């Protein structure tokens, strides 16, 4: 199956929220999908992509990038958020719907994000994976990502747990 990677548009919010709820059932309340999407769109909406199953008459080959506006008739099967603060790029919330895994959709999403971060002047991209999430680790390692051997520290500064 081929897929198309394109920038997120507001009409994708429901599909991406459903995908994230399914993929990250243990996420804390602060990661409530529609809230996260709204904050991302308010801050830097360009670093947010979806992978789509194209209309039946357009399916062929492997996952590729779609021109802006190619979303008509497409079904969201994956999503990825990135950030860039001038120092590092970060990837967040990569997910592909279970029935479309192992078809290259996540590979295409990460490639698009890395390309766009590079174009912004970013020299290094980081991400965090839960230590128990061996599948995601295997996915990133298959793309050549390696562990930094740095401790990951965090502090909640909002009201939610
Ligand atoms: C991790 C995830 C995004 C991978 O998506 P995907 O579209 O299936 O990945 P791809 O098809 O691009 O996989 C590329 C390669 O990664 C490796 N890989 C992918 N999933 C793997 C798994 N479950 N176990 C081992 N290796 C895996 C394989 O080498 C694969 O190539 P192959 O299919 O030719 O063997 C998907 O499994 C997912 O959504 N998981 C749940 C959400 C999640 O935990 N996200 C991480 C947040 S940090």
pLDDT digits (tens, 9 = 90+) for 122-161: 999 999 999 999 999 999 999 999 999 999 999 999 876 6
Atom number of ligand 1 nearest to Cα 51: 7
Q: Note the pLDDT of residue 65.
A: 63
101 CA to middle of ligand 1, Å?
Answer: 6
Is the separation of the CB atoms in 5 and 108 below 8 Å?
A: yes
Q: Domains in the chain, ordered, with CATH? A: 4-142 (3.40.630.30)
Question: Which residue has the least CA distance to atom 34 on ligand 1?
Answer: 102
What is the value of pTM for the model shown? 0.93
| Separation of alpha carbons 70 and 51, rounded Å | 11
Assigned token pair, 145: 């990502």
């Amino acid at each position: 199956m081929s897929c198309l990677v394109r920038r997120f548009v507001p009409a994708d919010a429901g599909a991406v929220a459903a995908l994230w709820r399914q993929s990250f059932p243990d996420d804390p309340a602060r990661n409530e999908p529609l809230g996260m999407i709204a904050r991302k769109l308010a801050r830097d909406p360009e670093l947010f992509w979806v992978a789509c199953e194209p209309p039946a008459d357009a399916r062929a080959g492997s996952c590729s990038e779609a021109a802006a506006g190619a979303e008509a008739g497409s079904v969201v099967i994956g999503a990825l958020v990135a950030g860039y603060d001038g120092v590092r790029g970060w990837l967040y919330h990569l997910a592909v719907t279970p029935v479309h895994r192992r078809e290259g959709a996540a590979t295409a999403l990460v490639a698009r994000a890395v390309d766009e971060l590079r174009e912004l002047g970013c020299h290094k991209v980081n991400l965090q994976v839960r230590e128990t999430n061996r599948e995601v680790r295997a996915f990133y390692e298959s793309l050549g990502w390696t562990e930094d051997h740095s401790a990951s520290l965090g502090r909640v500064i909002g009201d939610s747990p």
